[in-house]
Structure 1
Amino acid sequence: MLWECPQTTGDILLTTVRRSLAYSIADSYVALPLQLIGTMIISRLLTPQEAGVFAVAAVFAAFASTFRDFGVAEYLIQETELGPEHIRAAFTVNIAVSWVMGLLLFVGSPFAAEFYRDPGVGEVMRVQAVNFLLIPFGAVTMAYFRRQLDFRPIFLAGLLTNLTTFTVSTLGALNGLSYMSLAWSSLAGVVVTVATSLWFRPPGFPRWPGLRGVGRVVQFGKFASGIYVFGQLGKGAPEMIIGRAEDMAAVAMFSRASGLVELFNRTVLRAVTPVCLPYFAKSNRETGSLISGYLTSVSYLTAIGWTFLGFVGIAAYSAVRIFYGPQWTESAPLAQVLCVVGAVELVHYLAKEALVAVGEIKRSNLLQIGIQTSRIAGLLAVVPFGLVGACWGLLGASVFGLFLSQSFLSRALGLHARDVLRSCLPSLCVALFSTAPLACWAVVERIAEDNFVRFAVVGGGIVPVLWLLALRAARHPLWSEILELSGKVAGVLRSRGN
Structure 2
Amino acid sequence: MSKVRRAVIFSSLGQYTMRLIGLASTMIVARLLTPAEIGTFAIASAIIMMLSEFRVLGAGAYLVRENELTDEKIRRALGLTIIIAWGIGLIVLLLGPVAAYYYDIPPLTLIFAILAGSFFLAPFLSITMALLARTFSFKTVLKAQLVGSFVNLVVTVFLIQAGFSYYSLAIGQLTQSVAQFAMIALRSEFPNFWRPAFSRLGEIASFGIYNSLTNFFRKTVTVVPDLVIGKLGTTTQVAMFSRGLGFVGFLAGTLQMGVSPVVLPYLSETRRADQDITRAYTRAVVLICALVWPVLAVAAIASLPVIRLFFGGQWDAAAPLTSVLAIWLILRATHRFANNLLVATGNERVMTAKEAFLFVAICLLVVVAFPHGLQAVANGFVVLGILEITLVTWLLAKRVGLQVGVFYRALLPNLLITVICTLTTLLISRYVDFESRDPWKPVAVIAVCLPPVWLLSLALFRHPLMAEILRMIGVGQKVVKKMS
Q: CA deviation at 1:435?
A: 3.0
1:23 corresponds to which residue? 10
Q: Which moved more, 1:203-212 or 1:182-191?
A: 203-212
Q: What's the Cα RMSD here?
A: 1.5
Q: 1:198 aligns with which of 185, 189, 192?
A: 185
Letter in 2 for 1:221: G
Q: What is the 5 A alignment of 1:311-330?
A: 311-330=298-317
| 2:151 and 2:176 in contact (8 A); partners too | yes
| 2:103 and 2:230 in contact (8 A); partners too | yes
Q: 1:185 aligns with which of 153, 172, 187?
A: 172
| 1:303 and 1:430 in contact (8 A); partners too | yes
| 1:53 and 1:179 in contact (8 A); partners too | yes
Q: 2:208 aligns with which of 221, 224, 229?
A: 221
Cα distance in 2 for partners of 1:470, 1:205 equals: 51
Q: 1:262 aligns with which of 249, 271, 282?
A: 249
| 1:355 and 1:361 in contact (8 A); partners too | yes
Q: 1:56 aligns with which of 18, 37, 43?
A: 43
Q: Could you report, residue by residue, the CA deviation over 1:73-104 in whole angstroms, capped at 9, with x for unpaired residues?
A: 11111111000111011001100000111111
1:3 corresponds to which residue? none
* Structure 1: 5+ residue stretches without partners: 1-13
Q: Could you report, residue by residue, the CA deviation over 1:120-152 in whole angstroms, capped at 9, with x for unpaired residues?
A: 222211110111112212211111111111111
Distance 1:33 1:225, change over 3 A: closer
2:197 corresponds to which residue? 210
Letter in 2 for 1:358: T
Cα distance in 1 for partners of 2:334, 2:461 equals: 19
Letter in 2 for 1:427: N
1:479 corresponds to which residue? 466
Within the alignment, does 1:111 sit opposite 2:101 as a pair? no
Within the alignment, does 1:405 sit opposite 2:392 as a pair? yes
Q: CA deviation at 1:33?
A: 2.9
Q: Which moved more, 1:96-105 or 1:486-495?
A: 486-495
Q: What is the 5 A alignment of 1:108-257?
A: 108-200=95-187, 202=189, 205-257=192-244
Q: Could you report, residue by residue, the CA deviation over 1:15-72 in whole angstroms, capped at 9, with x for unpaired residues?
A: 1111111011101222233222211110011000000011110011111110112111
Q: CA deviation at 1:235?
A: 2.2
| 1:86 and 1:213 in contact (8 A); partners too | no
| 1:430 and 1:470 in contact (8 A); partners too | yes
Letter in 2 for 1:493: V
SS at match of 2:54: helix
Q: CA deviation at 1:446?
A: 4.5
Letter in 1 for 2:55: R
2:296 corresponds to which residue? 309
Cα distance in 2 for partners of 1:277, 1:461 equals: 35
Q: 2:349 aligns with which of 339, 362, 383?
A: 362
Cα distance in 1 for partners of 2:103, 2:430 equals: 41
Within the alignment, does 1:293 sit opposite 2:280 as a pair? yes
Letter in 2 for 1:408: L
Q: CA deviation at 1:274?
A: 1.1
Within the alignment, does 1:44 sit opposite 2:24 as a pair? no
| 1:23 and 1:151 in contact (8 A); partners too | yes
Letter in 2 for 1:83: T
Cα distance in 1 for partners of 2:43, 2:256 equals: 23
| 1:370 and 1:401 in contact (8 A); partners too | no
SS at match of 1:68: coil
SS at match of 2:116: helix
2:417 corresponds to which residue? 430
Q: 1:447 aligns with which of 417, 430, 434?
A: 434
Letter in 1 for 2:132: F
What count of residue pairs does the alignment treat as equivalent?
Answer: 484
Q: CA deviation at 1:246?
A: 0.5
Structure 1 segments of 4+ aligned residues over 4 angstroms from their partners: 443-446
Letter in 2 for 1:413: V
Q: CA deviation at 1:161?
A: 0.5
| 1:435 and 1:463 in contact (8 A); partners too | no
* Identity rate, percent: 29
Q: Which moved more, 1:374-383 or 1:158-167?
A: 374-383
Cα distance in 2 for partners of 1:456, 1:35 equals: 20
